[in-house]
Structure 1
Amino acid sequence: MYRSVFKPGLFKDQLTIVTGGGSGIGRCTAHELAALGATVALVGRDPDKLARVREEIAAVGGVAQAWPCNIRDEAAVQALVAAIVAEHGRIDGLVNNAGGQFPAPLKDISLKGWEAVLQTNLTGGFLMARECLNQAMQARGGAVVNIVADMWGGMPNMGHSGAARAGMVNFTETAAFEWAQYGVRVNAVAPGYVASSGMDAYPPSMKQTIQAFPQTVPLKRFGTEAEISAAIVFLLSEAAAFITGTTLRVDGGRPNVRPGMPMPALRNPSVPFDGFHLAQTPKVLGGD
């Protein structure tokens, strides 16, 4: 089963939504939340992926449900949240994890491509958070965690994603202020280079670039999905009751590297936390 560092039963009797729950960080987070007692609502566009994760969780005694939805569709999001509330009577947590982008310099990004990335990484997260607030959390409180990215200083060749993620950080800070009156906390997690299945979605031309990422990270390695999930779970938990409006970086210190400053040799390697029992190495990094 999932090897979480958090206490058993931490989310007993709670309902948490995880968007993008069919793969990668979302899948891992869903497993950890279920292992800690939550009923997890898996949201995504691919019903087959959601069904597989639901079955994985059920196989180790957890509870999850698959809720296919295009989070860019306002009416679909409204109907989704209404259906979850009708069935469970509550929503305690929302992990806005769904996202995606493609590599391209700004000059080559079409309006359609730009809008698609912003709708997925910014608008969809806003719609999910707004509806969870209006339909459930406004009455009883809750916690929202938005997944952004290491976009500090810009995201060359992914400017559409950088703009969306920066927007989500600002949304997080604004919502934290406006929604505190309802007992709703809103935070974000910014993953760095994480060894996740999402790496295999990029074209073969990026293989060498991806494999070289750890050389730009002070801890000299990729992060694991479980290390991101642990940050998310902490921010959803009662231990973070006085934390709202913050963005927690989980990136091995990559944004702290300065041009012209030599990278110190690593004397004591950082040991990855591998709590996810079903984690697999991406193919681009030599996995099966």
Structure 2
Amino acid sequence: MTNSVTNAQSSVFQSNLLAGKTALITGAGSGINKGIALHFARHGANIVMVGRRQEKLDETQAEIEALGAKALGCSADVRDYAALAEAAAKGVAAFGPYSVVIAGAAGNFIAPADKLSANGFGAVIDIDLKGTFNTFRACSEHFAAADVSLIAISAPQANNPMPMQSHACAAKAGIEMLIKTLAIEWGPRGVRVNGLSPGYVADTVGGELFMSADDGAALKQKIPLQRVTNVAEMAEMALVLSTPVSAYMTGHIIALDGGISLVGGGAW
């Protein structure tokens, strides 16, 4: 699997755009969130990475430090608020208060509802929805004085029912309402809360799952732009949401999905 953001990536933004700012990113050991961490590091941010596998965080930290940026990997499960709060505190002690927080940790699998166990359903709700709340709540004790950007990772399933994804649909729908509620509550504090809803991302485990049968040919036919996206595009849009470009945007979810949500299409 290739991750296009691990290589040198062009950007429309200046390389020092996030200089001196601290960003906490959950799920940063792999996939989209790792790509975001590397992209933000290239733009000067200090990166606090949270994930369950310390060895993956160590790998990402080494890549970030090779770029000349600073990073700290903290092993924690987003379902465990106490562990997450401890990780958030460690990050602040290392680099200072948070200007950007990205709740990206997620879990998913394919299962028909009548075969889905209560534990399986609950696991996805706990990782995705509860994990998003835990991330934002733990970091809320350590926000920068002004101009704070929170980003939650959603998915088209939040608004488009998808068979065999009842757990993910429920979790992502909850995340989007959480985004809007926190945008209202925390706006007076100078905190913006938005979401990023990726479609099918080629260079991730999830993307390869949906495209494995025919290299995605059938899936791409359902997407208006006739292609899938990649980690690099996700990272650049996350950067947009973390900069003054979006200073007056809050409570919104950016659908970076090639138009698949417009036609309500799923992978099958």
Pair in the same fold by TM > 0.5: yes
Which of 185, 190, 202 does residue 197 from structure 2 map onto? 190
Alignment of 1:162 onto 2:169: yes
CA distance in 2, matches of 1:144, 1:198: 25
Unpaired segments ≥5 residues, structure 1: 260-288
Name structure 2 gaps, 5 residues minimum.
Answer: 1-7
* Equivalent residue, structure 2, for 1:111: 118
Structure 1 residue ranges (4+ consecutive) displaced by more than 6 angstroms after TM superposition: none
- Alignment of 1:248 with 2:254, yes or no, is yes
CA contact (8 A) 1:71 1:127 kept: yes
Equivalence map 1:1-288=2 (5 Å): 1-133=8-140, 135-137=141-143, 139-151=145-157, 152-199=159-206, 202=209, 207-208=212-213, 211=216, 212-257=218-263
d(CA) in 2 for partners of 1:72 and 1:165? 16
Superposed displacement of residue 23, structure 1? 0.8
The two structures, once aligned, show a CA RMSD in angstroms of 1.9
CA distance, structure 2, for counterparts of residue 255 and residue 244 of structure 1: 21
SS at 1:208 equivalent: coil
Deviation at 1:18, TM superposition (A): 1.0
The structure number with the bigger radius of gyration is 1
Q: Structure 1 stretch 16-25 or stretch 191-200: which is displaced more?
A: 191-200
**Which amino acid in structure 2 is aligned with residue 226 of structure 1?**
A
For residues 96-138 of structure 1, what are the alpha-carbon distances to aligned partners after superposition, in whole Å with 9 as ceiling and x for unaligned? 11101110011111111011100111001101101111x1127
**TM-score between both structures, scaled by the size of structure 2:** 0.90
The residue number in structure 2 matching 1:278 is none
- Residue by residue over 1:31-54, the C-alpha shift from the partner in whole angstroms, topping out at 9 and shown as x without a partner, is 110000001111110111111111
Q: Number of residue pairs matched?
A: 256
- Which stretch shifts more, 45-54 or 192-201? 192-201
Instruction: For 1:258 and 1:197, locate their aligned partners in 2 and report how far apart those are by CA, in whole Å.
Output: 22
**How many angstroms apart in 1 are the aligned matches of 2:78 and 2:88?**
11
- 1:2–1:31 CA contact under 8 A, matched in 2: no
